[in-house]
Structure 1
Amino acid sequence: MEPLVSVCIPAYNNAEYIKDTIDSILNQTYQNIELVIVDDNSKDNTYELIQKIGDERIKLYHNDKNLGMSGNWNRCLSLCTGKYAKLVCADDILSPDALKREVDALEANPTAVIAESDTKLIDLNGKGKGFYKRYKKSGLVDGKEICRKGFFSQDYFGAPQANTFRRDVAEKIGGFDTDYTYILDYDFFVSLACEGDVYIIHEPLNFFRVRKGSNTGEVMGGNKEKTKVYVEEHLYLLEKNKERLKLTPKDIRRSVMIRKFRCFAASVYLKLFVHK
């Protein structure tokens, strides 16, 4: 029998897009799933909309008090029971065979703690706006190699929905670090990847919706204060991992400069091609 996969959706004020996200998960070719949705005390009708969807695989929860992003993401993980897990933000989408391809990779490669695929960027209307690719290699790659190279290039783990991971390893590392506001997913996947290998599929099996109101949109949209916090969090991430990834003070300074430049470049891209 195929192993159970827990797909998590941490929801907050996502009534406009969450139905598309849920449909993309329930219509996967891989069917042995549980869909854990935790509404973080939304102010719109997100919770009521989900209640109307009749599918026994959905496990819907509601927080009486808003836990914030890291708190709600950790609650999602704590409610999972599957061998594997994937976290999908409430406005992103999976291609029909995303889970099948990534679970098959994990099953065939016991040393892999994450299986991930490339991402297609879309706007609010679902129109393609480019691609976000993973590490340059394909197949099984040492996780620490990806993490270290990523600090001098880009976050190769990208948005959460691009990654399917072993739930027991997620429990081992302790879930999401609540000290972060913006890059808690980057920190989480770096910690996971350092526990083993990563299997990379260079095909766009997921879709990331780029919008101004999201964390990514705010940081990369040119907001100086939020970009400053983002860079400070990147420095914190480097300091946390400097010993196990053998980062020198020079490496850390170089990585921070690269991160600042990438924030600027991303803000220009969003203004020119997305936020019109």
Structure 2
Amino acid sequence: MLNNIELPEPLVSVVIPTYNRPEYLKQAIASAVNQRFKNIEIIVCDNCSDVNPQPIVEAFQDERIRFCRNSHNIGMVANIINGIIIARGKYVASLHDDDMWEPDFLAKLVPPLEANSDLALAFCDHYVIKADGQIDDKLTQECSETWKRANLAAGIHQPFYKIAIENMSVATANAAVIRKDVVDWKAFPLEVGGFYDLYINYLCSRSGLGAYYTPEKLTRYREHELTDTLTDNAQINIRKAKNHIFCYEQFMQDTRLQELHPHFQQRLIEANQYLGMSLLKAGQPELARPHFLYVWQNKKLSVRAIAALLLSFIYSLLSNTFIGVKGYVTAERKATSG
């Protein structure tokens, strides 16, 4: 008799961070509003966009939507985490303002979590779409293969830290539902930057809890000219490398993940080499040198990195020589003009 009683749906908080993407934002909100799973709150967190998107949000006339606008840009990660902190749901799900969900995204991912309290999250595969919303079949397949979801078995994986951290198969930024109390969101480190989703994977998996996976593509991830992952900017690349190093240094300190330490070490080597290269390109050889030396000390220095390390010394030598000559010439001019 009790088996026929339908329990009320748990509240799921959908957090949509947004910044200067009004047209895409409409589509993201619409995909959340149109979920078959109805017991949701939608928190739109605007990071001080140039044009206030509040009219876009209010146009939906849906009482489940809450709108928050920062008085100034607080950064992408803080904007997302703040939205999660104020969330009232048992579960939270992030949806970027340029992505979309299929109508049954929540309906497919929430039930496994309700059925098993040992699960930290549930996740799915996803499509890759172009700026105009059309599905890119080639990129979609490449994405599934790159992040090792193409052959990942459906169902429960416990523990799942290898899947989450090493393979990075879990796209918590747009394709996962997380049990909110698994993470201490108020202590979340902002130093992770754009790798906040990787760090969430770490926090959810480190305790040995499980994850549920469905190979169904229930999310549409959009790649376009404003996508952060496509940006090739020196200062942004430097920041990303520093964020990456912070993450893996934290992971290396976790004795529970000893099995993955060789992977973390390799990633640290790669990130330090990348940061060194980026700093060198930005004309900062002194700052680049310690990162090449780190790679050297770990005996993984490539021919390219060795050349870059030598270049950092040559660059400094030439710069100092130029400055010295310039100073001498200036002094001579002052002396002769007197």
Query: TM (normalized to structure 1)?
Result: 0.83
Q: Residue 193 of structure 2: SS of its match in structure 1?
A: coil
Q: Is 1:67 the equivalent of 2:67?
A: no
Aligned-pair distance for 1:138? 2.0
Q: Which residue is 1:179 aligned to?
A: 191
Counterpart CA distance in 1 for 2:201 and 2:261 is 23
2:164/2:198 contact within 8 Å kept: no
Identify the structure with bigger relative contact order (alpha carbons < 8 Å, sequence gap 6+).
1
Letter paired with 1:143: F
Percent of residue pairs identical: 27
- Within 5 A, what are the aligned runs for 1:1-276? 1-129=8-136, 130-131=139-140, 132-133=143-144, 135=149, 136-141=152-157, 142-150=159-167, 155-158=168-171, 160-170=173-183, 172=184, 174=186, 176-195=188-207, 196-218=209-231, 222-242=232-252, 243-246=255-258, 250-256=262-268
Q: Residue 116 of structure 1: SS of its match in structure 2?
A: strand
Counterpart CA distance in 2 for 1:163 and 1:21 is 15
Query: What do the CA deviations read for 1:101-126 (whole angstroms, capped 9, x no partner)?
Result: 10011112221111000011101101
Aligned-pair distance for 1:259? 7.4
Letter paired with 1:54: Q
Paired residues, number: 254
Aligned-pair distance for 1:228? 4.3
1:148/1:245 contact within 8 Å kept: no
Letter paired with 2:223: V
Q: Residue 217 of structure 2: SS of its match in structure 1?
A: strand
Say which structure is richer in strand: 1
Q: Residue 190 of structure 2: SS of its match in structure 1?
A: coil
Letter paired with 2:75: G
Q: Which residue is 2:307 aligned to?
A: none
1:116/1:164 contact within 8 Å kept: yes
Counterpart CA distance in 1 for 2:13 and 2:261 is 39
2:85/2:185 contact within 8 Å kept: no
Q: Structure 1 residues 122, 248: CA separation in 2 closer, same or farther (over 3 Å shift)?
A: closer
Query: TM (normalized to structure 2)?
Result: 0.69
| Structure 1: runs of 5+ lacking an equivalent | 261-276
Counterpart CA distance in 2 for 1:79 and 1:91 is 22
Letter paired with 1:16: E
Counterpart CA distance in 2 for 1:163 and 1:248 is 23
1:40/1:62 contact within 8 Å kept: yes
Q: Residue 61 of structure 1: SS of its match in structure 2?
A: strand
Letter paired with 1:180: V
Q: Residue 28 of structure 1: SS of its match in structure 2?
A: coil
Letter paired with 1:47: Q
Name which of structure 1's ranges 174-183 and 33-42 shifts more when overlaid on structure 2: 174-183
Aligned-pair distance for 1:137? 2.8
Q: Structure 1 residues 249, 112: CA separation in 2 closer, same or farther (over 3 Å shift)?
A: closer
Q: Residue 64 of structure 1: SS of its match in structure 2?
A: coil
Counterpart CA distance in 1 for 2:271 and 2:125 is 21
Letter paired with 1:56: E
Counterpart CA distance in 2 for 1:110 and 1:99 is 17
Counterpart CA distance in 2 for 1:84 and 1:159 is 13
2:123/2:171 contact within 8 Å kept: no
RMSD after superposition? 2.4
Query: What do the CA deviations read for 1:172-195 (whole angstroms, capped 9, x no partner)?
Result: 354642113321121122211223
Q: Which residue is 1:270 aligned to?
A: none
Q: Residue 17 of structure 1: SS of its match in structure 2?
A: helix
Letter paired with 1:37: V
Q: Residue 125 of structure 2: SS of its match in structure 1?
A: strand
Counterpart CA distance in 1 for 2:13 and 2:60 is 18
1:231/1:256 contact within 8 Å kept: no
Aligned-pair distance for 1:198? 1.0
1:74/1:175 contact within 8 Å kept: no
Q: Residue 192 of structure 1: SS of its match in structure 2?
A: helix
Letter paired with 1:147: A
Say which structure is richer in helix: 2
1:70/1:176 contact within 8 Å kept: no
2:12/2:89 contact within 8 Å kept: yes
